Structures are given as C-alpha cells and as structure tokens.
Structure 1
Amino acid sequence: MPIGAPPLPHIDRILPINEKNAGVAVAAEESRSTGGVQSIARAFRLLEIVATNGGVMGLSQLAVESGFPLPTIHRAVRTLVDLGYLRQEPSRQYALGPRLLLLAESSSTMLNTLAAPHLRRLVDELGETANLALLDSDRIAYVAQVPGRHSMRMFTEVGRRVLPHCTAVGKVLLSTTAAPEVHDLLVRTGMPRYTDHTLTDEVSFGAELDRTRERGYAVDEGEQEVGVRCVAVAVPQVGPRPGARLAVSISGPAPRMTDELLAEAVPALHRAAAAIADDLA
C-alpha cells in the first residue's frame, strides 16, 4: 500500500560569511536583536553555532559562521567560559561546557511533559510505542516516550543517545540538513554497522535521505535493532529562528509494523508533529 505524506521542504545551506557580506550579516543580527540585550542574543547565537557544528569550534570558525567581529566573539566566549557554558580545549578550540547540562535537563523535562499527551494519542490510535527525539550535536537523543499496548523492550528509551544514520528520526532530521553538514557529521561519527540492514556508506545514505525528503517521512527497517521497525516525521520549525531539531516516531516489532500500519501512521505522526510545534510556538 502506498504511503503518502506532504513532502518536507528543502532547506538550502546558508552561505558562509565572508568579508563582502559580513557587515550585512552583523547588521541583520543587530536588527533581530532590537528591543533586547544584544550581548545576550549574541552569546546564545554562538552557543547555537557551536552546538550545530559538532560541539567544538575555533574563534575563526565562529567568526565565519556568525559574521560577528573577532573582538566581540572573544569577549562573549571569555564570558561563557567563565560561566561554564563553554570550555577551552588544549587545541585552543572551544567546546560546549558542563553547565549546559543544567539547561538540557530542564529542557528535556519540559519536552517530555509537553509531548506526552500527543504521544499518548498516537499510542491510542496505533497501538505501538511513540517517541519524541531530537538531534543533539551529532547524536539522536530520545527525550519522551509513551510505551505501546504490547510489552516489548527496545533501544528507544528516554535518555538513550544513538547515531542518526541508523534511525528513522535521524534520517528524517538529516533529510532537512544541507548535504555538506551531513557529510561532516558522517565523517565525525562514522557509519558503524549494527545489523545486516544498516546503511554504512554515504552514497546509499544520501539516496535514502533523498527518498525521505520526497515522501516526508523516514523508515528504519531493522537498521538499529534486529526485528524492530520505526517510522518518523520531523516536527515543523516555528518562528524565524531555528529551535530544537525534533522528530516524532512510532516503533515496534516488524511483524506488527506492517505497510498498512505505516500508511495509517504517517498522517497521524504529521498531526502529532504539528500539534507539538504549535505547543512550542
């Protein structure tokens, strides 16, 4: 049975800032900061950039990605290091600091509470385990779950962090990520084989992302765990600035996760994802 869903929008890669357009980028950033404290806005922007580039960056890289002047970046980074939100590595690059764990823990609790009613509706409708996951640096982190009506222990449990190339939620989130960024992530993490179905080369994975982008959902065909099938859709981004990269999924044993159930699940997942996006707006 064909499985239909609206296609995910293609997201073009933002060109790196260079000397010719750096002033425009800074002016745009300052315009967005009107009415707020600009130094705070810039500090959070730098943390977002580090988080979306593997969690470790140098000052020159931050300048290219942000468009901020180096003296501004240096002051902001020094403050973030003093506060524990960044730390300096022996390489003199900067990595996300341990104090962010406090914010991450509170954020995960909030997301779990917010998503729970929508995940429960999915379980009531489809019977299988429903999950909410996010792309956290180079890993997929499961932040909320409502177990299905049938008892079965799977890798999808709250707090679990896995590589994205072998999960439906990872595929659907990477399908909305620019190809150079996907390449860099795969270089950093590798593509280890977990089962006979795991995609372990970048060409095949790229083709899978193309299919995911075209149909608007991703499927894990026993690629992380033998005998488990999963289908996922991305939670739409809301507002002018990017937020957490979230996806919602259902998972269960392959004999129950039939094509017919997936056909029923895809529109239900899109409804849940839209509802979660509305709650986050």
Structure 2
Amino acid sequence: MVFRNAAGPGGALAIGNGESASSPTLIGSVQRALRLLEAVGAHPDGAPAKQLARETGLPLPTTYHLLRTLTHEGYLRRENGLFVLGEVAEAIGRGGARRRQRTHISEALAMAGRELRAAVYFGVYREGEVELVAVTDDPERPPVEEWVDFRSTAHAHAIGQCLLAQLDDAARKDHLARHPVQSMTPFSVRTEDDLLHRLDTVRRGHVAYDQQEYALGTVCSAIPVQVGSAAAALAVSLPADELHRLRNVTDQLRRMAEMTLTTLAFSISI
C-alpha cells in the first residue's frame, strides 16, 4: 500500500517534523497510518480523532495530520466529525475478501474433481458476460484449453449454455447480438434457432451437455446453482472416450453441489 502526500511532491506520506521520503522514519510513518486505518476499521460507525489517538497511542498532532492525508487520498472519509473507512480502503478489503472466497471455491472444486475424476468448473454470468470464476488444475484431469475466449463462445460449451438458459429473453437476445452463434467444431450448434431450441431443453432438464462442441476430444456437462439472483453454474469435463461416465458424473456433481458447493458459492462476491 502506498500513501501519497497530498500537500507536496515526492509521492510519500509525510508526517511533519521535517520527515521526508528519504527519511529512515518513513516506514514508521506508514506503520502509524496503517494503525490508524485498523483503528478506524474497528469502528463501523466511525470514531473521532481524539479517540483514535488514544487507541493507537499516537500524539494528537500526528493523528490529525495522518487523518487529513488519509482522508484526502480516499482511504478515510469524515462524517459529522467521525472518521470511517473510505472507498479506497473498502475496495482493498473487498479485493482481499474476494481472493479468499475464490480460494475456498478452488479448494472445493479440487476436492470434487478428485472424487469425480474430472475437471470441474464454476462460472457466473456477470455484467453481460460469461465469467469462469474457478477451475481445477489437476494434471491428471486437465481442464479444457481455452482456445477461443469462453466469453464469446457461450453458445458452444456446456457452462455457457447453462448460463444462457438462466437469462431472461432480453438479456439472452442482447448477449447473442454481441456474441453471434458460430460453429466451433463439426458438432457445434449451427444457428441461433438451433441454440434457442437447445436452451429450452436445458431449462427443462436443468443440465446442459456438450459433446465435442467447443473442443474436439472433450465432453462436458453443466448444472445451474443458486447464488442469490445471479446466473451461476457448475460444470465437469471428461475425455470423449469417457462419454459413458458423463451422466453418472453429472448426477454426482448435482448431489455434491446440494451438500457443499452451493454453500461455498454463496460466499463469493458476485
């Protein structure tokens, strides 16, 4: 985390008393700023400068100076004389939380992949695009190589079809206007009408199957999962010569999702 000096050049956070960017006390200045941020974060409703000075053990003049600088830079904001975390600090916190949540999802997928002996994927439809949130990386069961962007080829793979099937007509029409249907392999759907017919089937069966439609030599399936109001899906892929396992693996995935994976999916920031 880098703090900039709002009052002068140099890009460093100064604290007065003659300190500069070259001063050996710069690290101490940053440490004091971080202590203040932690103290403010402990008060969701905000805290006044004098209270923050007491809790951090900082001199009041230093506290005032750091609070002014952190407020100017967006790490804090002042409301009715109280200091609360600002947009910059909140964004950093959300980023860390999201990384931890994705780690939890990845660990859950890895466990599922080992039990299913398949590559496992978790995807969502966010802001008009298919987003692959997590995928297993077991070298014995490698995931499908993304040889064409998954976002622009949702019509050609199971996870994309599962997500598109969950959209309303307007959102689906908008998506296909931006990402028209195109054949990826000899097995892909050929036209938008073919795709819409397929999506009707997916909605009725709550599962999408892809037999070498995106990548030759690979078969996939995807099931919808509930993540609030967002469209989300879990998927598996197998070598094409294991097509006979696909329906059984899909049923196992559904049972596992009901027990564990959906709970983890709820924790991810959508």
* Bucket of the pairwise TM-score, normalised by the shorter protein: 0.5 to 0.7
How far is the alpha carbon of 1:217 from its aligned partner?
Answer: 0.7
> SS of 2:188's equivalent?
coil
Q: Give deviations 1:23-62, integer Å, cap 9, x for gaps.
A: xxxxxxxxxxxxxxxxxxxxxxxxxxxxxxxxxxxxxxxx
Counterpart pick for 1:249 among 223, 227, 235: 235
Q: Secondary structure at the match of 1:236?
A: strand
Question: Which residue does the alignment assign to 1:123?
Answer: 113
- Equivalent-residue separation in structure 2 for 1:191 and 1:215 (angstroms): 22
The alpha carbon displacement at 1:172 in A equals 1.0
**In 2, are the aligned partners of 1:191 and 1:201 still within 8 Å (CA)?**
yes
**Structure 1 partner of 2:227:** 237
CA displacement at 1:130 relative to structure 2: 0.9
TM-score by length of 2: 0.56
Q: CA deviation at 1:153?
A: 6.0
Instruction: State the partner residue of 1:173.
Output: 163
Equivalent residue in structure 2 for 1:268, among 247, 252, 255: 252
The list of structure 1 runs, each at least 4 consecutive aligned residues, that deviate by more than 4 angstroms after superposition, is: 101-108, 159-162
Q: Of residues 121, 128, 133 in structure 2, which corresponds to 1:143?
A: 133
When normalised by structure 1's length, the TM-score is 0.54
Q: Which amino acid aligns with 2:134?
A: A
Alignment of structure 1 residues 144-163 onto 2, 5 Å: 144-148=134-138, 150=140, 152=142, 154-155=144-145, 161-163=151-153
Distance (Å, rounded) in 2 between the aligned partners of 1:102 and 1:208: 42
CA distance in 2, matches of 1:237, 1:113: 17
Contact 2:238 2:246 (8 Å CA) reproduced: no
Instruction: Label 1:270 to 1:165 Cα distance change in 2 as closer, same or farther (>3 A).
Output: same
8 Å contact 1:172–1:233 — kept in the other structure?
Answer: yes
Letter in 2 for 1:246: A
Provide closer, same or farther for how the CA distance between residues 272 and 103 of structure 1 changes in structure 2, counting only shifts above 3 A.
Answer: farther
What is residue 44 of structure 2 aligned with on the other side? none
Counterpart secondary structure, 2:215: coil
Counterpart of 1:176 in structure 2: which amino acid?
A: Q
**Larger CA deviation: 267-276 vs 171-180:** 267-276
- Percent identity over the alignment is 21
Once the two structures are superposed, the pairs formed by residues 105-120 of structure 1 within 5 Å of their partners are 109-120=99-110
Distance 2:131 2:179 in 1: 15
Q: Measure how far apart 1:215 and its partner are.
A: 1.3
Q: Secondary structure at the match of 2:131?
A: strand
Residue type at the aligned position of 1:254: A
CA shift for structure 1 position 106:
5.5
Secondary structure, aligned partner of 2:176: helix
Shift of 1:150: 2.2
- Pair 1:187–1:114, CA change in 2 (3 A): same
CA-based RMSD of the aligned residues comes to 3.0
Question: SS state of the match for residue 177, structure 1?
Answer: coil
Compare relative contact order (CA 8 Å, sep 6+) and give the higher one, 1 or 2.
Answer: 1
Q: Distance in 2 between matches of 1:185 and 1:132?
A: 20
Distance in 2 (alpha carbons) for counterparts of 1:233 and 1:218? 7
SS in 2 for 1:235: strand
Q: Contact between 2:136 and 2:143, CA under 8 Å: does it hold in 1? A: no
**CA deviation after TM superposition for structure 1 residue 105, in Å:** 6.3
> Is contact 2:130–2:163 with CA below 8 Å preserved after alignment?
no
Q: CA deviation at 1:117?
A: 3.4
Q: Which whole-Å CA distance do the structure 1 matches of 2:128 and 2:214 have between them?
A: 16
Is the radius of gyration larger for structure 1 or structure 2?
2
